[in-house]
Amino acid sequence: MIVAIDGPAGAGKSTVARALAARLGFGYLDTGAMYRAVAWLALEHGVPLDDADAVGALAEAHPVELRPRADGNDVSIGGRDVTGLIRTARVSAAVSPVAAHPSVRRACVAAQRALLAAGDWVCDGRDIGTVVWPGAEAKVFLVATPEERARRRRDELEGRGETADLAAVLADIERRDHLDSTRADSPLRAAPDAITVDTTGLPIDAVTDTLAEIVADRTSGVRS
Ligand code: DC
């Protein structure tokens, strides 16, 4: 069974997806980590982020590998483990233009589908229910106000010892929302059969409970 969780940055997708996967005994697949790895490599190589050919060639020459573990995914690109390197504000600021290139998306989506083809997964991203796995048995679109999403991202960055200014984080989130939802290839949007859940003001446990109910309903065929 595949549970697809899509939504904008900071809506709580990865935290809830991890908790839900643990509760259900499913694997957890963090597709954003793949685009972050490609963005990290482009920065390392000094490749202009908007150069589709150059970034695409880089992605093709350096395959991204995700290895699920109990509490998240290890990510490597071109054989180098970048798990700890892809969560910085610098990579966050670079990733949307990189993820907009069709060549990059082709490479990442093929790797995602290869993983999802076997077993049970909770998978989060922007296009899981629409493009990567349209046949997902349960689809959720998580949303929250931009201000709340910015506060969560700031707390996350500060928790890792980075300094983060709330206004700058909010501006980055709004810029990414715009880029992710207006790109031509696989824009961020809810699948027609996704259930939208607003996580503003809700604790993780409550959101996880809601999603677990949606999955249970889908499994028992209560919702069509
Ligand atoms: O979820 P995240 O913040 O780690 O995602 C990083 C970026 O990758 C985000 O700005 C959009 C992009 N992304 C995407 O285009 N498609 C996905 N399935 C997942 C992420």
Separation between Cα atoms, residue 188 and residue 13, nearest integer Å: 13
Where are the chain's structural domains? 2-216
Beta bridge partners of 66: 75
Query: Is the shortest distance between the CB of 148 and ligand 1 below 6 Å?
Result: no
Residue 219 CA, ligand 1 centroid: distance in Å: 28
- Give the per-residue pLDDT at 224: 47
Alpha-carbon distances of 155 from 39, 85, 148, 160, 165, rounded to whole Å:
23, 18, 11, 9, 10
Look-up of token digits 């349960």: 138
> Tokens standing for 5?
């969780």
- Provide the pLDDT for residue 25: 95
Residue at token pair 């629409």: 130
User: What percent of the chain shows pLDDT beyond 70?
Assistant: 98
Q: Does ligand 1 lie within 6 Å of residue 31's CB atom? A: yes
Residues 184-202 pLDDT 10s: 999 999 999 999 999 999 9
Q: Can you tell me which atom of ligand 1 is nearest the CA of 132?
A: 18
Strands 64-69 and 72-77: antiparallel
CB of residue 105 inside a 6 A radius of ligand 1: no
pLDDT at 223 over 60: no
Condensed to tens digits (0 to 9), the pLDDT of residues 65-120 reads 999 887 789 999 999 999 999 988 899 889 999 999 999 999 999 999 999 999 99
- Look up residue 213 and give its two tokens: 């109910």
| Backbone phi and psi for residue 31, each to the nearest 5 degrees, phi listed first | -70, -25
CATH tag for 2-216 (out of 3.40.800.10, 3.40.47.10, 3.40.50.300, 3.30.450.20): 3.40.50.300
Which two tokens mark 93? Answer: 């600021």
Alpha carbon 119 to its chain centroid, in Å, reads 19
Is 140 close to ligand 1, i.e. is its CB under 6 Å away?
Answer: no
Half-sphere CA count of 191, side-chain side, radius 13 A: 23
pLDDT in tens, 5-29: 999 988 999 999 999 999 999 999 9
CB 98 within 8 A of CB 44: no
Ligand 1 geometric centre to CA of 222 (Å): 31
31-79 pLDDT, tens per residue? 999 999 999 999 999 999 999 999 999 999 999 999 988 778 999 999 9
DSSP code string of 69-104 = ETTEEEEEETTEE-TTTSSSHHHHHHHHHHHT-HHH
Contact between residue 75 and residue 82 where contact means Cβ atoms under 8 Å apart: yes
pLDDT digits 0-9 by tens, 114-156: 999 999 999 999 999 999 999 999 999 999 999 999 999 899 8
Full-model pTM: 0.93
